[in-house]
Amino acid sequence: ISMGIIRNRLIQRILFWFEQICYQSSCKVVALSEGMIKELKKKQVPSKKLVLVPNACDFREFELAAKAGEPDPFAEYRETPDTKICVYAGTLGLVNNIDYLINLGEQFRCQGLNTRIVIIGKGSQEQRIKKKIEESALQNHVHILDPVPKRQLIPFINAADACISTVQDVPALYNNSANKFFDALAAGRPIVINHGGWQADVITENELGIVLTSDVAKSAQGLDSFLRRNNKADLEQKIKQFARNHYARDLLFNRLLNDALLPCVERAEANHN
């Protein structure tokens, strides 16, 4: 509705009604971000019902892949040892604003910056994006690869200099809890986004990456500068430590179990008795 896709007023009212029924009928409502919690409170969902459990970081899989010592999957795209690779791994859909990545790549070329973008995925916008890359002659600055299973994707993320997550400039999307964000943290890679919201706050406050803006020229220069002024090993250690303290799988599972699942079981048992 916020993106203007569902415009029929009657259907909108039905969907908002159904949304409220779901909240009212729930024992607990598990939100994936602080932004979602705030929106749910605006919708009059009682605070006692709300439980914050964001996506988790899978450190073990990333560490095993790193120990395997696989060759750099981006070697063919690194024109020099100093070439930086930013990877976007996800859907190429309307929500994802892949055009922003194309514009970013164009600025890398125009400004003579030695940074490249690799997109891994498929989606409804794929053919249009490929055509735009070709028409803009950006084949040396923006590359698109077919999607691979998660286990095979991990070496790509480990080898990247930064991971990018983008969405359209629609405030309703800022509360998303993208897997790309948590995979980057698990690999100790800087996370780069182009929107506001809770992820932007986490990145900025803890210096885990960079938040880009609608000024793509400045954003391209800022991203390239960020990647070159930070020591990769030190930044990796800092990011992983933050992720372990806040997004470790066991930590979040215990929160889900103790704050959401067990209270619902106890309530069901009490109602039964």
**57 and 133 Cβ atoms separated by less than 8 Å:** no
Whether pLDDT at 68 is above 90: no
Whether pLDDT at 264 is above 90: yes
> Tokens standing for 43?
């919708």
Give residue 4's region: left, alpha or beta (phi > 0; psi -120 to 50): left
Close Cβ partners of 108 (under 8 Å, ≥ 6 residues apart): 115, 116, 117, 141, 220, 224
Q: How confident is the model at residue 188 (pLDDT cuts 50, 70, 90)?
A: very high
Per-residue confidence (pLDDT) for residue 67, from 0 to 100: 86
Per-residue confidence (pLDDT) for residue 88, from 0 to 100: 97
Residues in the chain, total: 273
Per-residue confidence (pLDDT) for residue 143, from 0 to 100: 97
- Report d(CA 106, CA 98) in Å as an integer: 13
Place of tokens 């997004």: 247
Per-residue confidence (pLDDT) for residue 271, from 0 to 100: 84
Whether pLDDT at 211 is above 90: yes
**235 and 39 Cβ atoms separated by less than 8 Å:** no
Nearest to 252 by CA among 36, 13, 55: 55
Task: Kindly state the DSSP code that residue 47 receives in the 8-state scheme.
Answer: G
Q: Give the dihedral sign, CA 207/176/98/2.
A: negative
Q: What is the mean pLDDT of the segment spanning 15-39?
A: 95
Task: Kindly state the DSSP code that residue 258 receives in the 8-state scheme.
Answer: I
Per-residue confidence (pLDDT) for residue 85, from 0 to 100: 97
- Report d(CA 66, CA 87) in Å as an integer: 17
Q: How confident is the model at residue 151 (pLDDT cuts 50, 70, 90)?
A: confident
Per-residue confidence (pLDDT) for residue 150, from 0 to 100: 87
Whether pLDDT at 273 is above 80: no
* Of 86 and 178, more confident: 86
Report the percent of the chain where pLDDT is more than 90. 87
End-to-end CA distance of the chain: 42
Whether pLDDT at 65 is above 90: no
How far is residue 18 CA from its own chain's centroid? 28
Q: What is the mean pLDDT of the segment spanning 189-203?
A: 95
**55 and 182 Cβ atoms separated by less than 8 Å:** yes
Q: What is the mean pLDDT of the segment spanning 212-238?
A: 95
Whether pLDDT at 69 is above 90: no
Mean pLDDT of the chain: 94
Q: What is the mean pLDDT of the segment spanning 213-225?
A: 97
- Report d(CA 92, CA 131) in Å as an integer: 14
Q: What is the mean pLDDT of the segment spanning 140-145?
A: 96
Q: What is the mean pLDDT of the segment spanning 206-231?
A: 96
Nearest to 98 by CA among 88, 110, 107: 88
Q: What is the mean pLDDT of the segment spanning 135-146?
A: 95
Whether pLDDT at 270 is above 90: no
Q: How confident is the model at residue 272 (pLDDT cuts 50, 70, 90)?
A: confident
Per-residue confidence (pLDDT) for residue 102, from 0 to 100: 97
Based on the number of CB atoms within 10 Å of its own CB, is 80 exposed (0-12), middle (13-18) or buried (19 or more)? exposed
**171 and 2 Cβ atoms separated by less than 8 Å:** yes
How far is residue 163 CA from its own chain's centroid? 8
